[in-house]
Amino acid sequence: MFSKKEITIAYSVEKCTKCGMLKKRKFIEGDILFAKSSKCNSCDGMTTIEKIFGETTKQ
């Protein structure tokens, strides 16, 4: 009755193949591990999806 509702949010972690910078963002449908994702913000390299995971919070 008094238990809090658990909500899991999926995240994707992008890693730049050139400078190694990591960026965590919310998962977008179609994201697949190791796939090329976007341009790196700190250099001109491309990022790939390094990890996809869920984080659970209680509400």
Chain positions contacting other proteins, by CB under 8 A: 8, 10-11, 27, 29-35, 51-56
Residue owning tokens 């977008």:
28
Smallest distance, other proteins to C-beta of residue 52, A: 5
Smallest distance, other proteins to C-beta of residue 34, A: 6
Q: Which is nearer to other proteins, 10 or 43 (CB)?
A: 10
Smallest distance, other proteins to C-beta of residue 14, A: 14
State the amino acid at position 51 in one-letter form: K
| Whole-angstrom distance, CA of residue 32 vs CA of residue 19 | 21
β-pairing, 46-58 vs 36-39, is antiparallel
